[in-house]
């Protein structure tokens, strides 16, 4: 599942994901709440995975300026 801020309008992130090889999974795009002052031009991805790894070993990737959103968990 992808969310995008309202200023991201050029393409659906799901299209890019399929072009990268994720053609065999359902994908969903939606828009974030347009909160005044929120970080612009952000694409968020939530992926459901099955893993035996404990939650503490899961790494959360925040690219570039998005790391400012969650410095507590960004890798
Ligand atoms: C401020 C953020 O964006 C919004 C707030 C979130 C939160 O409070 O957990 C999560 C996603 C967004 O709806 C963020 O990603 O940290």
Q: CA–CA distance from 47 to each of 1, 14, 51, 58 (Å)?
A: 6, 12, 12, 12
Ligand 1 surroundings by CB, under 6 angstroms: 32, 69-70
Measured between alpha carbons, how far is 4 from 29 in angstroms, rounded to an integer? 8
Ligand 1: residue whose CA is nearest its atom 2? 69
ipTM rounded to 2 decimals: 0.86
Ordered domains of the chain (ranges, CATH): 2-70 (3.30.1330.40)
Tens of pLDDT, residue by residue over 17-68, are 999 999 999 999 999 999 999 999 999 999 988 999 999 999 999 999 999 9
Q: CA 30 from chain center: how many Å?
A: 11
CA dihedral angle for residue 46, residue 5, residue 67, residue 70, rounded to 10 degrees: -70
| Residue 69 alpha carbon to ligand 1 centre in Å | 7
Nearest-atom index, ligand 1, CA of 66: 15
Nearest-atom index, ligand 1, CA of 33: 13
Residues for the chain: how many in total?
75
């Amino acid at each position: 599942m992808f969310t995008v801020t309202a200023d991201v309008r050029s393409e659906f992130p799901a299209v890019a994901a399929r072009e990268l090889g994720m053609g065999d999974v359902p994908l969903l795009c939606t828009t974030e709440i347009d909160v005044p002052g929120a970080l612009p031009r952000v694409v968020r991805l939530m992926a459901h995975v099955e893993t035996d790894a404990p939650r503490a070993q899961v790494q959360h990737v925040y690219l570039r300026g998005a790391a400012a959103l969650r410095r507590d968990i960004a890798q």
